[in-house]
Amino acid sequence: MKNARVEVKNEAKATVSRELFGSFVEHMGRCVYGGIYDPSDPSADEDGFRTDVLELAKEMGVSIVRYPGGNFVSGYNWEDGVGPKEQRPTRLDLAWRSIESNQFGLNEFMAWIKKLSAEPIMAMNLGTRGVSEAAQLVEYANTDHGTALSELRKEHGVKDPHGVKYWCLGNEMDGPWQIGHKNASDYGKLAKETAKAVRLVDPDVKLVACGSSFEEMPTFGDWEQTVLELCHEEVDLISLHAYYEKYGDDTLSFLASSARMDRFINRVAAIADQVAEKKGSDKKINLAFDEWNVWYQEKFEGVNNLEFRSAPRLIEDEYSVEDAVVVGSLLMTLLKNSERVSMACQAQLVNIIGPIRTEPGVPAWRQTTFYPFAITSKVAGFEVLDTAVDAEKQDCKLFKDLPMADFVVTRSPGGDAVVIFCLNRQLEEETHLEIDLAMISEEMKIVATHCLGGGELEKTNSQNYPENVTPTSLEKCEFSSGLLKASLPPVSWSVIELSV
């Protein structure tokens, strides 16, 4: 048994943005076709949307959804996906070597997201296209001045402007795999000019510049610096992307993913602040972690080996309990950094490395990774409280001085609910947690506990066993006179809900 002590200060470190609980829908594999949209499925509604997927996305508490890519967007003509469906062209999607029917496009996505009661983040193609097409897309989507483009939207059956606030200025433009990949200064100039034009069309937009595709990119750091030096005043946010996986049987390094994510966030924030200082600007660029997840990239055969097919089965990873523990810990890192990370999207929503899985004709099911997202988005309070953690540290292959336990404490707006998120990285042993909550109140009640992990880490959910894994509760957890004591199972993610 190991020990961890946490002191909670009655002081908010940051306000939690609801936009941290975002997801991502890309025209890739079976995320759109056969995922959110499948008119032939028994669960489909009048628009062809799978209602079971929609219900599960609601249960997850998804607040914002990025669309239509991803790598896909860098070769996409948005005009192909609007207007009468029978007139829409079928095209090659070069990013994922697929056949794109364009039966689902901008207006279908907006109708779907309305049913979800979430907000869109639209990505623009800055790979094969540029300033003019981006400005036209915003004019089509967001304006009502009686121009050809706003009238065209009305002809397409959408009377009112969509009012899309968040726009990504391209996707992963630092990556050589990206169609229309650019160096940092070419991209920075293009992002600046696109931002200027788009703001002239709609001054209310919030714009996300592309950061690095992952922290280990050889250009990481220089890329952020150069891009922000060029477009600092024109953009609002910079993106971060990161996918984590387990290498061999190195569970501890896998559990270090959230510490790596934390370091990545701090590095990007520091660069953004340096650029602001150099420019003498008061403007604070916030971070959009608009692609994150666990993804076993080692298992992916790669794009070049794919045959052109419609909605192919791509990267449909089946997630284990251990993966869910890591997803829970990544959400803790996002919460912890909510002062700076104002938006985040788990990539992707369904089938493609998704927390939701579908097969034709049968009900959709929850992967293990569904639970930490749904629980966090439901119970995470309004503000993150300042904490001081005393826990053992260890080195692992991918991280030095890794704290073997991690905690985040949030509080509701009225202060009547406190939630403690816990990660135990110990591989074999329980961690005995003592958390001093006296600064908040001597009198609290444990309302509920949730736990994933502690054993059978390889278990998964599947079509035949959709509820093989569900969260359990903590066996040992008690509160008395301002002190909460709990035993956290080895390799586990837990949540303790308290009422004040």
- Please name the residues in contact with 467: beta carbons below 8 A apart, sequence gap of 6 or more: 461
CA distance 222 to 63: 32
Q: Cβ(156)–Cβ(83) under 8 Å?
A: yes
> Could you tell me the smallest distance in angstroms from the CB atom of residue 395 to ligand AHR?
30
* Shortest separation between residue 368's beta carbon and ligand AHR, angstroms: 19
CA 101 to chain centroid? 26
Alpha carbon distance 171, 335 (integer Å): 24
User: Under the criterion CB under 6 A, does residue 43 sit at the interface with ligand AHR?
Assistant: no
* Residues binding ligand AHR: number (CB under 6 A): 11
Nearer to ligand AHR, 172 or 193 (CB): 172
How far apart CA 359 and CA 34 sit, in angstroms, is: 8
495 with 376: CB under 8 angstroms? yes
Q: Which residue is nearest to ligand AHR (CB)?
A: 70
Select from 12-20, 68-76, 189-197, 271-279 the region that touches ligand AHR (CB under 6 A).
68-76
**Paired tokens of 18:** 């609801």
List, in order, residues 6 or more apart from 249 with CB less than 8 Å away.
none
CA angle in degrees (0–180, nearest 5) for 487-376-457 = 55
Rounded least distance, CB 28 to ligand AHR, Å: 6
Q: Rounded to the nearest whole angstrom, what is the least distance from the CB of residue 264 to ligand AHR in the complex?
A: 15
Looking only at the bridges linking them, the beta strands covering 492-499 and 445-453 are antiparallel
Residue among 300 and 308 whose Cβ is closer to ligand AHR: 300
Nearest CB to ligand AHR, comparing residues 178 and 410: 178
Residue 443's Cβ-side half-sphere holds a number of Cα atoms within 13 Å equal to: 0
Q: Restricting to residues 285-344, which ones interact with ligand AHR according to CB under 6 A?
A: 291
Query: In the range 206-235, which residues lie near ligand AHR by CB under 6 A?
Result: 213
Radius of gyration of the chain (CA): 23
Residue 348 contacts ligand AHR per CB under 6 A? yes
Q: What is the nearest approach in angstroms of ligand AHR to the Cβ of residue 314?
A: 9
Q: In terms of CB distance, is 101 or 171 closer to ligand AHR?
A: 171
70 binds ligand AHR (CB under 6 A): yes
For the question of residue 383 being annotated catalytic, the response is no
Residue from 35, 68, 69, 170 binding ligand AHR (CB under 6 A)? 69
CA–CA gap between residue 354 and residue 349 (Å, rounded): 5
Residues 157 to 186: which contact ligand AHR by CB under 6 A?
A: 171-172
Beta strand extents in 249-313 (DSSP E only): 286-294, 309-310
Closer to ligand AHR by Cβ: residue 26 or 41: 26
CB of 95 to ligand AHR, least distance (A): 7
Structure token digits, residue 5: 């002590």
Q: In this complex, which beta carbon is closest to ligand AHR, that of residue 152 or of residue 303?
A: 303
29 makes contact with ligand AHR (CB under 6 A):
no
CA distances from 307 to 69, 100, 314 (A): 20, 13, 12
Residue 236 lies near ligand AHR (rule: CB under 6 A): no
Q: Where are the alpha helices (DSSP H) in 280-337?
A: 321-336
For residue 347, state whether it binds ligand AHR (rule: CB under 6 A): yes
Q: If binding is defined by CB under 6 A, does position 98 make contact with ligand AHR?
A: no
DSSP-derived letter for residue 85 is G
Instruction: Please pick, among 79, 172, 193, 215, the residue that the annotation labels catalytic.
Output: 172
- Rounded to a whole number of angstroms, the minimum distance from the CB of residue 178 to ligand AHR is 8
Nearer to ligand AHR, 349 or 385 (CB): 349
Q: In what order do the strands lie in the sheet with 309-310?
A: 91-93, 98-100, 309-310
- Euclidean distance between CA atoms 199 and 466, whole angstroms: 46
Mask for 244-273, x = binds ligand AHR (CB under 6 A): ------------------------------
CA 81 to chain centre: 25
Residue 71 engages ligand AHR in binding (rule: CB under 6 A):
yes
Q: Among residues 171, 339, 219, 185, which one has the least CA distance to residue 269?
A: 339
- Write out the binding residues for ligand AHR, residues 402-461 only, by CB under 6 A: none
Query: Shortest distance, CB of residue 356 to ligand AHR, whole angstroms?
Result: 15
DSSP helix/strand/coil, 192: helix
From 26, 291, 322, 430, the catalytic residue: 291
291 is catalytic: yes
Catalytic positions = 172, 291
Give the interface with ligand AHR as residue ranges (CB under 6 A).
Answer: 26, 28, 69-71, 171-172, 213, 291, 347-348
